[in-house]
Amino acid sequence: MESRAHDPLPAETEGHHPDGHQPPNLDFRGTTPYEDYVQADVLTHLQHPLSDDPGELVFLVTTQVMELWFTVVVHEWETAAEALRGDDLPVALAALRRSTHELRSLNASWEPLARLTPRQFNSYRAALGEGSGFQSAMYRRMEFLLGEKSASMLVPHRGAPRVHDELEKQLAEPSLYDEVLRYLDAHGHPLSAAVLDRDPTRRYEPHPEVEAAWAAVYAGPQDSGLIKLGEVLTDIAELVWRWRNDHLVATRRAMGGKVGTGGSAGVAWLEKRAAKQVFPELWTARSHV
């Protein structure tokens, strides 16, 4: 972050031309321009471990890092959905491709938590109380954008108006996949009202017409815009599946078959979640090409 808003210290720079020896500015009247932009002071003081265990900080920070990646990915998918609505495939593809790199970074964040022993996790587990990633609203928005809608997922957030409003809005809006299907319909693969006018607040269920449309896309020219769209969505589906599986395996290592802090059956419940196909017809259509 370069800024020349204030003069550099005169003693260090007088009579010198900018070259490899010129040091960075040290003198700022208020907070640094870096701080003004990044708010690092705020960000690095949002960590409040609940136990004395030295291993808890990385658990907390990894969770916070993942929340930030969820936020970026939601932004990309909303950008893509809006672009598709406006018939702008290049902008949609760019946002979706960015999100695949972000999802890879998100998934790499599992590394510090991937090999917790039950004793290590137990050291701070009790301090988490009923807290669980299940209550992550930003993760829920990701799931809603993928088509995994559920009004009951708003219930835990009744006490947090801003979060609740954002989730409610996302529930009522067409998902990213709904916009993709409208785009398919408008570009040579007509779909019926059962698909196009479905209730957007309900979980997306696979439809044979959609499978046939993707099969036709994949049987067609291999450099088409629709194949590019299909492939980047398939990357996303795979990366989301990887996140769910890495989470599942980390959980199995850390707590075996115990119930979750959020009250679910734990690993058995996560197994069912991980088995769900993201963008289902993009997978099943491959059998018909």
Helix axes 225-255, 176-186, angle to 10 degrees: 160
Q: Report yes or no: 244 and 270 within 8 Å, Cβ to Cβ.
A: yes
Residues that bind ligand HEM (CB under 6 A): 62-63, 66, 113, 116, 121, 132-134, 136, 139, 247, 250-251, 254-255, 260-264, 266, 269-270, 273
Nearer to ligand HEM, 198 or 273 (CB): 273
| Closest distance of CB 144 from ligand HEM, Å | 11
Q: Which two tokens stand for residue 201?
A: 């607040």
Nearer to ligand HEM, 226 or 248 (CB): 248
- 6 labeled binding residue: no
Q: Report yes or no: 243 and 133 within 8 Å, Cβ to Cβ.
A: no
Q: How far apart are CA 87 and CA 185, in angstroms?
A: 12
Q: How far apart are CA 45 and CA 23, in angstroms?
A: 29
- 247 labeled binding residue: yes
| Closest distance of CB 105 from ligand HEM, Å | 13
> Closest Cα partner for 184 from 147, 218, 146?
218
Nearer to ligand HEM, 97 or 273 (CB): 273
Q: How many CB atoms lie within 10 A of CB 18?
A: 7
Nearer to ligand HEM, 73 or 270 (CB): 270
| Closest distance of CB 63 from ligand HEM, Å | 4
Residue whose structure tokens are 């658990």 = 59
| Closest distance of CB 182 from ligand HEM, Å | 26
- 251 labeled binding residue: no
Annotated binding-site positions for substrate: 125, 261
Binding-site entries: 125, 247, 261
**Which residues are annotated binding-site positions for heme?**
247
